[in-house]
Amino acid sequence: MHDAFKSQVLNAASSAADAPWMPTGRDQASKDFTALALPDRKTEGWKYNDLSKLYGSELSLAGDSDLEAASGLLADLSAIDVPVLALVDGRFCSALSRMPAGVSAVAFSQASAEQQASITQAIGTQARSDGHAFALLNEALSEDGIWIDVDSGVNVERTVHVVSLRTVAGSAAPRLLLRVGDNASLSFAEHHRSVAGLAAFDLPVTELQIGANSSVHHYRFALGEEGNRHVGRVAARQSADSRYYAYLAVLGGDFNRLDFGLDLQGQNCESELYGLYMCRAQEHTDIHLAVDHALPHCNSKEVFRGIAAEHGKAVFNGRIHIHQDAQKTNAELSNRNLLLSRTAEINTKPELEIYADDVKCAHGATVGQLDAEALFYLRSRGTPVEAAQSLLSYGFINEVLLAMPDEATAGLVKPRVDAFFDGLQGA
C-alpha cells in the first residue's frame, strides 16, 4: 500500500505547477519522500491512526476548480465583510479575495521579486521537513501559498481571513507563511473548507514567526466534510516578550490529523492555546501538540476539549518540553473529553518532559460522560433528554468558544458546532 501511495505522489508531483519558492525543491522533496519509511501503526506518533484511510484512497493533484461552488463556501465570510485571501484547491484566487489594508499580504504566485526573496528566506525555517513525511509531501505537491508580512510597529486592526477551499477531488497542499515584526500585532484566521462528499486530500502547512513584544491571535478552523482527508501542520515561533493566542477547531472530515508545534525562543513569552475537536459518524481526528520551552520566564496554557460520538474516534497528544535553561516556567495543560456513545473511542496522552527544576508544570486529562445529576436537573424542569444532552455538551466545549476574543470570527465556527449536536442520533 505504501509503494502504491508513493508512486501516486510521484505522478502528482510531476504534474504540479512550478513552485520556485520551495526550500527543498519539488523534485528533491518527492525523491526524499519516496525514500522515507512512511509512518504506520508501529510509529509511536501514529499508533492510534488507521492509516489505510490515508494511503488507501487515490491521490492525484486537484484539477480545474469550480469557482461557483467556492464562492458558495464563502457566503458567511462575505456576510461579515472581512478581508479574505482565498486559495481554491491549493491555488490563489484573486476573484474571491478581498485584500486587507495596512498589511502586506500576497500570494506566492503573484509576489514581486523582492517579496519572493523574503518568502524563500522565511519558508521552511519553522516547519522543517527533514524526516517528516507529510511536510515533505506538502513540499512535493504545493502549488501556491499566502505570504503575510507585518512590519515592526504595525498593528493590523481587522482580522485577516485566509480561506483554503476545496471544490474538486484530489490533493492540495497550500502554504501559509506569516512574519510578524517587533512590537506589532495581528489577528488572523485560517479556514479549511470543502464542498460535501468530496474525496479531497488536504496537506496544508502554516508557519508563523512572531517578533519581540508582538501579539498574535490565530484562529484555525478545519471544517471538513465527508470524504475529506486533512493532514495539517502548524509551526509557530515566539521571540522574547511576545504573546500568542491560538484557537483551534477540528470538525468533520473522514480523517483529520494536525501537528501543532510551538517554539518559545525568547524570555517572558506568553502563550495560550485553545482547541476543540468533535467527531461523529466514522470520523477520525488526531491532534498532536508540542510546546517547547527553551528559555526562562515563559508561561504557557493549553486547554483542549474533545467530543466523540457515534463511531467517532478522537486522539489527543499534548506534549510540553521544558529545556534545562527554561527555569521559572509555568506550563499547564488541560484536556477533557466526552464520550457520547458506546462505539466511540478516545485516546489521550498528555506528556511532560522536564529538565529544569524551578518550574511549575501540570497537566490534567479526563475522559467521561455527562453528569447524570445535571441531566436529571434539566429533565426535571421539562427539557427533553436530547436537548438536555446538547445543552450540557455545548457547555462542556463552550470554554474554548468563549476564549475567542473576536466574536465575528467565533461566529464562523458556531453553526458547525450546532449542526454537530443537532444531527446526533440518540446520543
Partner 1 sequence: MSESVERINERLASDYEAGFVTEVENDSLPPGLDEDTVRAISARKKEPEWLLEWRLKAFAKWKTLTEPEWAHVNYQKIDFQALSYYSAPKGQGDGPKSLDEVDPEILRTYEKLGIPLHEQKRLAGVVAVDVVFDSVSIHTTFKDTLAEAGVIFCPISEAVQSHPELVKQYLGTVVPISDNFYACLNSAVFSDGSFVFIPKGVTCPMELSTYFRINAMNTGQFERTLIIAEEGASVSYLEGCTAPMRDENQLHAAVVELVALDDAKIKYSTVQNWYMGDEQGRGGVYNFVTKRGVCKGRNSHISWTQVETGSAITWKYPSVVLRGDNSVGEFYSVALTRGRQQADTGTKMIHMGKNTKSTIISKGISAANSENCYRGLVRMAPTAEGARNFTQCDSLLIGDTCGAHTFPYIESRNNSAVIEHEASTSKVSDDQLFLCQQRGLDPEKAVSMIVNGFCKEVFRELPMEFAVEAGKLLEISLEGSVG
Q: Which candidate, 193, 66, 205, 50, places its Cα nearest to that of 125?
A: 205
Give the strand pairing for 243-251 and 270-279. parallel
DSSP code of residue 236: E
Binding mask 8-47 for partner 1 (x = CB under 8 A): ------------------------------------x---
**Do residues 156 and 102 lie in contact, with contact meaning Cβ atoms separated by under 8 Å?**
yes
Please identify, using beta-carbon distances, which residue of 365 and 391 lies nearer to partner 1. Answer: 365
Whole-number Å distance between alpha carbons of 368 and 124:
40
Tell me how far CA of residue 6 lies from CA of 32, 233, 257, 284, in angstroms: 11, 20, 19, 23
Please identify, using beta-carbon distances, which residue of 349 and 379 lies nearer to partner 1. Answer: 349
Helix 385-403 to helix 414-422 angle, to the nearest 10 degrees? Answer: 160
Q: Which residues ranging from 44 to 83 are in contact with partner 1 (CB under 8 A)?
A: 44
Please identify, using beta-carbon distances, which residue of 109 and 334 lies nearer to partner 1. Answer: 334
- Out of 64, 68, 114, 357, point to the residue binding partner 1 (CB under 8 A): 357
In whole angstroms, what separates CA 13 from the centre of its chain? 24
Q: Which candidate, 260, 84, 89, places its Cα nearest to that of 173?
A: 89
Stretch that binds partner 1, among 169-177, 198-206, 249-257, 351-359 (CB under 8 A): 351-359
In the complex, least distance from residue 277 CB atom to partner 1, rounded to whole angstroms? 15
In the complex, least distance from residue 223 CB atom to partner 1, rounded to whole angstroms? 25
Q: Which candidate, 144, 176, 140, places its Cα nearest to that of 160?
A: 176
**Do residues 234 and 206 lie in contact, with contact meaning Cβ atoms separated by under 8 Å?**
yes
Please identify, using beta-carbon distances, which residue of 180 and 295 lies nearer to partner 1. Answer: 295
Joined grid coordinates for residue 279: 467527531
In the complex, least distance from residue 296 CB atom to partner 1, rounded to whole angstroms? 11
Please identify, using beta-carbon distances, which residue of 83 and 318 lies nearer to partner 1. Answer: 318
Q: Which candidate, 277, 223, 214, places its Cα nearest to that of 241?
A: 214
Q: Which residues ranging from 316 to 345 are in contact with partner 1 (CB under 8 A)?
A: 324, 327, 337, 339-345
* Total site size for partner 1, rule CB under 8 A: 35
In the complex, least distance from residue 337 CB atom to partner 1, rounded to whole angstroms? 8
In the complex, least distance from residue 265 CB atom to partner 1, rounded to whole angstroms? 19
Which burial class, exposed, middle or buried, applies to 133 when counting CB atoms under 10 A from its CB (0-12, 13-18, 19+)?
middle
In the complex, least distance from residue 368 CB atom to partner 1, rounded to whole angstroms? 4
In the complex, least distance from residue 355 CB atom to partner 1, rounded to whole angstroms? 5
Please identify, using beta-carbon distances, which residue of 104 and 341 lies nearer to partner 1. Answer: 341
Q: Determine the 3-state secondary structure of 320 from DSSP.
A: strand
Whole-number Å distance between alpha carbons of 174 and 161:
15
Q: Which candidate, 173, 181, 149, 178, places its Cα nearest to that of 24?
A: 173
Please identify, using beta-carbon distances, which residue of 158 and 363 lies nearer to partner 1. Answer: 363
Please identify, using beta-carbon distances, which residue of 44 and 68 lies nearer to partner 1. Answer: 44
- Out of 240, 356, 375, 403, point to the residue binding partner 1 (CB under 8 A): 356
Whole-number Å distance between alpha carbons of 100 and 157:
10
- Out of 16, 240, 352, 375, point to the residue binding partner 1 (CB under 8 A): 352
Stretch that binds partner 1, among 94-102, 111-119, 348-356, 398-406 (CB under 8 A): 348-356
Q: Which candidate, 259, 205, 234, 260, places its Cα nearest to that of 19?
A: 205
In the complex, least distance from residue 360 CB atom to partner 1, rounded to whole angstroms? 5
Whole-number Å distance between alpha carbons of 128 and 307:
31
In the complex, least distance from residue 41 CB atom to partner 1, rounded to whole angstroms? 14
Binding mask 358-387 for partner 1 (x = CB under 8 A): xxxxxxxxxxxx------------------
Question: Which chain residues interact with partner 1 by CB under 8 A?
Answer: 44, 324, 327, 337, 339-369
